[in-house]
Amino acid sequence: MSASAVFVLDLKGKVLICRNYKGDVDMSEIDHFFSLLMLQEEEGLVCPVMSHGNALNVTLRNERASPVPCVQVFTEYFKELEEESIQDNFVVVYELLDELMDFGFPQTTDSKILQEYITQKGNKLEVAKTKVPTTVTNAVSWRSEGIKYKKNEVFIDVIESINVLVNANGSVMSSDIVGSIKLKTMLSGMPELRLGLNDRMLFALTGRDKGKSVAMEDVKFHQCVRLSRFESDRTISFIPPDGESELMSYRINTHVKPLIWIESVIEKFSHSRVEIMVKAKGQFKKQSVANNVEIHVPVPSDADSPKFKTSTGHAKYVPEKNLVVWSIKSFPGGKELLMRAHFGLPSVENHELEGRPPITVRFEIPYFTVSGIQVRYMKIIEKSGYQALPWVRYITQSGDYQLRTNS
């Protein structure tokens, strides 16, 4: 199994960039691809695997076709994957495609390491790299040797996103927490780090009281973490990659109370108006504050002349998305806020059926984790024996937070 060629297409199916790795498929095969895609799309059944003749196209649509790791790497390079960014940076894209795969086999896909292979900007010419990247021969493939910082620091971000799906009649269908621990490492040399969490399994192992501990599921680690040690005694020890990285992610499948509860009444009077009443309640501790709260309420596509009344924050109509966005800068726990909206409807009815999109909520609560997970310690040991400071920050934010509506 290997890839014969990689194509990056634009929205109209024009080839932006192609790289033929093996020369065993006709490069014009791709022309069939788009018409096939359109055909399937019309039937509403786009399936990621398509076959045409002997060529098997595995399409991975991210608005364009390209294999998964590339998208990830590309986004890390260009921040945002846009048609323009690919055109502007086609030199880098070709360089990347060359290093990512050879003869159709994936070679190096870690973007940290790729950055060493590839001179990122064309005009960095003066220091044209002539030495081979150190990581090529390194035992620790994710960290180069000889990194130096004046001030040694580690920033730890514990970020938990809540996914909630609430039914139209107000019962919570599913909820879970997806957490991740992110590092920003600014440490010299090859430091050994050890991270301590209030992990329930660990507490059970060491016989501590189970007062405040968290049971994690689906724990995934960055490749730097020594899995064998974690399995034997739940210690998270590692040599961190330099700069920003995601150390681990986990999932907690407990029933959480939705942190922001929404009650909505959407009344639609055909041919005349729509009246929306949304009540939002902060179901978290009084001391905490949710920041940048955005509540997206769907409205019919043919609604017009919006009128709003809010107790706090302000509401805005976004006609291109058929949404009312109610934004609240800060939302203290335990409070209950109200928004009323009024829309006119045309007297000629829209015949097209419309789906019923759910209400979605976005928010961010700093200094707080729903699961109660805590970093108990972070030990940093390096040969030279410097003192380093760990900084910890907790954030809870909304993930896929949907509340279905009745109308």
What is the binding site for another protein (CB under 8 A)? Answer: 1-2, 22-24, 44-49, 51, 56, 58, 60-62, 68, 90-91, 94-95, 98, 102-103, 105-110, 119, 122-123, 125, 128-132, 136-137, 165, 167-168, 173-174, 217-218, 220-221, 223, 227-228, 231, 251, 353-355, 357-358, 400, 402, 404
Task: Give CA–CA dist 115/96, Å, rounded.
Answer: 9
* Closer CB to another protein, 56 or 392, in the complex: 56
* Closer CB to another protein, 109 or 144, in the complex: 109
Shortest spacing between CB 120 and another protein, in angstroms: 10
Task: Give CA–CA dist 86/145, Å, rounded.
Answer: 32
Shortest spacing between CB 53 and another protein, in angstroms: 12
Tokens representing 99 are 């290093």
* Closer CB to another protein, 202 or 388, in the complex: 202
* Closer CB to another protein, 44 or 207, in the complex: 44
* Closer CB to another protein, 11 or 209, in the complex: 11
Q: Is 117 helix (H, G, I), strand (E, B) or coil?
A: helix
Shortest spacing between CB 360 and another protein, in angstroms: 9
Side chain identity, residue 21: Y
Shortest spacing between CB 223 and another protein, in angstroms: 8
Q: How far is CA 38 from CA 11, 96, 133, 259, in A?
A: 11, 29, 44, 42
* Closer CB to another protein, 103 or 391, in the complex: 103
* Surface-to-core class of residue 382, CB atoms within 10 Å of its CB (0-12 exposed, 13-18 middle, 19+ buried): middle
Task: Give CA–CA dist 53/34, Å, rounded.
Answer: 14
Task: Give CA–CA dist 245/224, Å, rounded.
Answer: 10
Shortest spacing between CB 312 and another protein, in angstroms: 27
Shortest spacing between CB 288 and another protein, in angstroms: 27
Shortest spacing between CB 144 and another protein, in angstroms: 15
Shortest spacing between CB 372 and another protein, in angstroms: 22
Q: In this structure, how many other beta carbons lie within 10 angstroms of the beta carbon of residue 208?
A: 12
* Closer CB to another protein, 137 or 384, in the complex: 137
Q: Which residue do the tokens 């419309």 mark? A: 354
* Closer CB to another protein, 93 or 380, in the complex: 93
User: HSE-up of 381 (CA within 13 Å, CB side)?
Assistant: 8
Task: Give CA–CA dist 292/369, Å, rounded.
Answer: 17
Task: Give CA–CA dist 151/33, Å, rounded.
Answer: 53
* Closer CB to another protein, 22 or 393, in the complex: 22
Task: Give CA–CA dist 71/8, Å, rounded.
Answer: 10
Query: For 65-169, where are the alpha helices, taking DSSP H only?
Result: 68-78, 83-88, 90-100, 111-117
Buried b (16+ CB within 10 A) or exposed e, 153-165: ebebbbbbbbbbb
Shortest spacing between CB 32 and another protein, in angstroms: 17
* Closer CB to another protein, 106 or 319, in the complex: 106
The C-alpha R_g of the chain, in whole angstroms, comes to: 26
* Closer CB to another protein, 51 or 330, in the complex: 51
Shortest spacing between CB 128 and another protein, in angstroms: 5
Task: Give CA–CA dist 376/390, Å, rounded.
Answer: 11
Shortest spacing between CB 318 and another protein, in angstroms: 16
Are 318 and 325 in contact by the 8 Å Cβ rule? The answer is yes
Query: For 11-89, where are the alpha helices, taking DSSP H only?
Result: 29-43, 68-78, 83-88
